[in-house]
Structure 1
Amino acid sequence: MSASVNHQRMGLLPTIIGRVFLALFLAVWMVPLYWLVNSSFKYKAQIQSEAPVWFPHPVTMENINWVIANLDHAALYRSLHVVSISVLFSVIFGPLMAYALSRFRTRANRQLESWIISTRMMPPAALIMPFYFLFLRIHLLNTELGLTLLYITINLPLTCWIMLAYLRGLPEDAEEAARIDGCSRWGAFWYIILPMTRASIAAAGLLVTILTWNEFFIAFVITSSNITFPVQVAGFLANGMNPEYGHMAAAGLLLSLPTVLIAVIFHRSLLSGLHAFAGGK
């Protein structure tokens, strides 16, 4: 009896340690989020006060109202256009690319897969200058079309890689049975494979949406006047020589709100799709 109790206690120890580390990890992410929300509803005097103001009292909406009044709506619409088009292309062509790599096996498949994953290993800072001079030569610099093409180039390999990991875990029996019954290769993909991969496609689309909406560095370098919403948010940091932390926090809150809502509303699709990508059932 005592041995069983000791065994249970030893089994609880890793669980407790894991939860403590998880709580610390979440705190690292939650403290900046708390500061962001807290500062958005504070007066400037409260933000710059030497004594910490843990909760804004009274609550003010002047930071959010200022951001909305000074917001460049063209930048917001440009972000929506760029994100929607790049995600649409990635979701349409990513599964097709992954299906071709998983079903049509050639000697070049290994090299293609290595190239696809290598595009995610390179830091953006290492690739931005070649793209900058290329877009300068073909007159796509500081254009919405150029930024959209660059985001498609970045997002398409990620979508393909997620779908490739999931498709390789699917049995080919149903697809082969459909082809025996007279279904074409395209018909088997449309009627058999596509319905089975809806969760993975949704997860890839949501993940690409979040990454593209939050992207700052590439848009900051490629665009100068035709900026996106994240680039404009960085411009709210200062008004002349005075730092405007309240405006910056409010702008960051408005920028984060869509992706947070997507993660909260569609968390089941994200978890199921990423679990399938990791090799789960």
Structure 2
Amino acid sequence: MAASDSPANASPLTIGLIGPVGTWIGRILLILALAIWVGPLYWLVNTALKVKVQIQSAAPVWFPDPITLENIEWVLDNLDQGAFFRSLRVVSISVGIAMFFGPLMAYALSRFKTRWNGQLENWIISTRMTPPAAMIMPYYFLALHTGLMNNELGLIIVYVAINLPLAVWIMLAFLRSMPDDAEEAALIDGCGVWQAFFLIVLPTLKQSIISGGLLVLILAWNEFFIAFVLMSSNITFPVQVGSFLAVGLNPEYGHMAAAGLLLSLPPILIAVLFRKSLLTGVHAFSGGK
């Protein structure tokens, strides 16, 4: 590269122009990205708060006037409370099991070295990356032949199988970023391996367990496809919300939007209130240290 083309020889005027231009390009791209992400959510809220005439208007109504809660009230009156509490039980138990065994499995993989550790880790993450549609037939036949169709226990087992690899992967990232000096000191003082884990490592993993649990909780709460197939009669909350889409020849878009809004509120609140913990978990899942 010629000396005149090197960054060091670039004129101050060129460098001064690149800075502001790059900043404005970044801002424009950020605004576009936010519009793509926030736009559907805004239209969901907008539709849920509009009267039927405004929803069916040929011209889009960007701001509901007057604001109405009729759609939300209709959904609350017609929503199956059993589906909501069924989802609450299934998600809570499956997330609890995943976050109990996740740190134990991750600690074993990170501290007990064998020739098969790499293969085990690849297999664990591959099970999480497999599309649910590819595994639904095995899940369906296993549930059918074990009597777990339309059974909360069967759905809990499937959710644990799906979410446990994610919990293990997040814990592995945290454990590998931790120095093992305190563990070695505990072992020298006479502690066993698992005593060192419960007394030294587990308290240190508190933040990672919280972030991993929140991430797994959001994914389990939003899951629709597997619950739709395995729980055809004892439906979960997302499946109940999906049932509002089939309303005949005159679809009630306001009711659909209100149902979707109610389903979205718990994950959105979790993401807003615990955003730092979630970012930590996502960073660990991507392999960050």
Give the TM-score, by structure 1 length.
Answer: 0.95
Distance 1:141 1:161 in 2: 29
1:58 and 2:78 correspond: no
Distance 1:186 1:155 in 2: 24
Aligned to 2:233: 225
Letter of the 1:166 partner, please give it: F
Shift of 1:13: 4.2
Distance 2:19 2:184 in 1: 46
Evaluate the alpha carbon distance shift between residue 208 and residue 85 of structure 1 in structure 2; reply closer, same or farther with a 3 A threshold: same
State the identity as a percent.
Answer: 66
Letter of the 1:177 partner, please give it: A
Evaluate the alpha carbon distance shift between residue 196 and residue 6 of structure 1 in structure 2; reply closer, same or farther with a 3 A threshold: farther
Q: 2:242 aligns with which of 234, 249, 254?
A: 234
Distance 2:236 2:185 in 1: 48
Aligned to 1:158: 166
Shift of 1:121: 2.1
Letter of the 2:41 partner, please give it: L
Q: What SS does the corresponding residue of 2:233 show, helix, strand or coil?
A: coil
Evaluate the alpha carbon distance shift between residue 260 and residue 19 of structure 1 in structure 2; reply closer, same or farther with a 3 A threshold: same
Aligned to 1:191: 199
Q: 1:134 aligns with which of 134, 142, 145?
A: 142
Distance 2:124 2:91 in 1: 21
Aligned to 1:17: 25
Please say which of residues 72-81 and 47-56 is displaced more in the overlay. 47-56
Q: 2:179 aligns with which of 139, 152, 171?
A: 171
Shift of 1:11: 4.3
Give the TM-score, by structure 2 length.
Answer: 0.92
Aligned-pair Cα RMSD in Å: 1.8
Q: 1:124 aligns with which of 132, 139, 144?
A: 132
Letter of the 2:27 partner, please give it: R
Distance 1:14 1:277 in 2: 30
Aligned to 2:152: 144
Shift of 1:3: 3.8
Shift of 1:140: 0.4
Please say which of residues 59-68 and 178-187 is displaced more in the overlay. 178-187
Letter of the 2:131 partner, please give it: P
Q: 1:115 aligns with which of 96, 110, 123?
A: 123
Shift of 1:224: 0.8
Query: Please, which runs of 5 or more residues in structure 1 have no aligned partner?
Result: none
- 1:199-210 → structure 2 map (5 Å cutoff): 199-210=207-218
Evaluate the alpha carbon distance shift between residue 192 and residue 14 of structure 1 in structure 2; reply closer, same or farther with a 3 A threshold: farther
Please say which of residues 174-183 and 252-261 is displaced more in the overlay. 174-183
8 A Cα contact 1:163 1:200, kept in partner: yes
Shift of 1:217: 0.6
Q: 2:114 aligns with which of 101, 106, 119?
A: 106
Between Structure 1 and Structure 2, whose CA radius of gyration is higher? 2
Shift of 1:221: 0.8
Distance 1:192 1:12 in 2: 49
Letter of the 1:190 partner, please give it: F
Evaluate the alpha carbon distance shift between residue 12 and residue 167 of structure 1 in structure 2; reply closer, same or farther with a 3 A threshold: farther
1:84 and 2:89 correspond: no
Query: Deviation string for 1:93-143 (max 9, x for gaps)?
Result: 001100000000111111111111111221111110111011101110111
Q: 1:37 aligns with which of 45, 48, 71?
A: 45
Q: What SS does the corresponding residue of 1:239 show, helix, strand or coil?
A: coil
Query: Deviation string for 1:184-225 (max 9, x for gaps)?
Result: 212211122112222211111000000000011111111111
8 A Cα contact 2:173 2:288, kept in partner: no
Distance 1:193 1:12 in 2: 47
